[in-house]
Amino acid sequence: MNIESALQKLFSLHQFGIKLGLENIQRLLERIGNPHKNLKSFHIAGSNGKGSTSSFLASILMEAGYKVGLYTSPHFVIFNERIRINGKMIPDDYILKFISELDEYIENNKPTFFELTTAMAFKYFDEQKVDYAVIETGLGGRLDSTNVLNPIASIITSISLEHTQILGDTIEKIAIEKAGIIKNNIVVIVGNMPEEALSVITKKSIAMDCINYETRNFVTEKKIGIKVDLKTGSFDISSTPLRGYHQAFNAALAVKSLNATIGVDNEKIFSDGINNVIRNTGIQGRYEIINEYPKIIFDSAHNPEGVKAFIKEFSADFENYSHRILIFSALNDKNISGMLCELKPYFHEIMLSKISIDRSATIDELQTAALANKINAQTVEDPTNFIFKFKENPGKNCLVVLGSMYLLGEIKSKLLKKKT
């Protein structure tokens, strides 16, 4: 077996879909020595912002001098992006060794892609003796494969209607699933979210004897930026390298988590962690400027709440562009019509594309949602080629690629191949 065949075997597990529940992952972790039990972890869930918050957490911990494991999903270009220690991606040799040693187990037990990847991350972090592991949930919380952890803090960034077929069709039901990551006697950090979600999380925190910090109680909005209340004093966040006002709140969740749990209170460490988040963690796709003239923006907004955050940033200068084009795609379990409704006023042209994964919305599904919003959308079969042609005409035009991390990842991968 080589790395190509090992990854092929790993990706073939997508055929088993999403299996919510902890029995499979517990059995797999038992097989490899229960590495998760040795990890001091921060566990992050949320409809939006969990990837950014995880990255801010990891970056600040790195600047504080710790060895930090970071587990996020999905990847953009290569699988290794999902598992990092101090910003460095897991090496191919480790992936090959892990898959090879479990070859028979995989054949006999059929774990899912995410279960096996989660087990790999935990094993790698344990063997490399990280000081802290920052772990992002995959889907939901209560039955997510990562929820075998006993973290020192659980962070719930936001809650909105998503994955309703799996997590429930109300904010309260989804909040129950996300709150499932709350464990006994830990710190709970809660982002901005609807009252009905806050109520669910507060009740769960009380039942589990947790110390609960809500953003509305420790963040104050200022004329420029925000102020985060700490155990002693406060810390101001005026901006972050990740574009968008909402990113200051994601950074605030990270700052508060580390202050409340392990007592980080050094302003320079906070500032350096926030300012160096891209370099330290490799985070991508958050209002990412791919090209300046003409402007090309990649954004991983994947639900109406995320789209609203994108629009808040985009609306500041969208009128400066003489022509604005959107390339859009989404997974089939997303509120596609709701996203397109929000985006419609800001673009002269909306183009639809299909992602090359099973869960992708079809062109017909995308067109149906577009027509419901009275959008005369075109189809683009090769977004990468479209982007290259767009770049040939520098000027005051703007192209936005938005709707799914998978769309961004596919295009980024092809862009890199074309450059080489």
Q: Transcribe 197-216 into DSSP letters.
A: HHHHHHHHHHHTT-EEEEHH
Give the length of the chain: 420
Tokens of 350: 């909306």
Tell me what pLDDT residue 226 has: 97
Tell me what pLDDT residue 166 has: 64
- For CATH 3.90.190.20, the residue range(s) in the chain are 288-419
Tokens of 336: 């596609």
| Nearest one of 201, 206, 142 to 172, comparing CA atoms | 201
| Nearest one of 98, 166, 103 to 127, comparing CA atoms | 98
* Local confidence pLDDT in tens for the 420 residues of the chain: 899 999 999 998 876 667 778 999 999 999 999 999 999 999 999 999 999 999 999 999 999 999 999 999 999 999 999 999 999 999 999 999 999 999 999 999 999 999 999 999 999 999 999 999 999 999 889 999 999 999 999 999 999 876 656 676 799 999 999 999 999 999 999 999 999 999 999 999 999 999 999 999 999 999 999 999 999 999 999 999 999 999 999 999 999 999 999 999 999 999 999 999 999 999 999 999 999 999 999 999 999 999 999 999 999 999 999 999 999 999 888 899 999 999 999 999 999 999 988 889 999 999 999 999 999 999 999 999 999 999 998 889 999 999 889 999 999 988 887 665
CA torsion, points 90, 96, 102, 104, in degrees to nearest 10? 160
* Residue environment code for 285-310, b if the CB has 16+ CB neighbours within 10 A, otherwise e: bbbbebeeebbbbbbbbbbbbbbbbb
d(CA 24, CA 12): 17
Tell me what pLDDT residue 292 has: 93
For the 288-419 domain, the top CATH level (class) is alpha beta
- For CATH 3.40.1190.10, the residue range(s) in the chain are 3-281
Helix, strand, coil distribution of the chain in percent, nearest 5: 50, 15, 35
Tokens of 144: 């997510």
Asked if 111 and 120 count as a contact pair (C-beta separation under 8 A), the reply is no
CA angle, 27 then 32 then 38, to 5°: 100
The domain 3-281 having CATH identifier 3.90.550.10: the answer here is: no
Asked if 186 and 162 count as a contact pair (C-beta separation under 8 A), the reply is no
Asked if 138 and 114 count as a contact pair (C-beta separation under 8 A), the reply is yes
Name residue 84's beta-bridge partners: 70, 89
Q: Return the amino acid letter for 336.
A: I
pTM listed for this prediction = 0.93
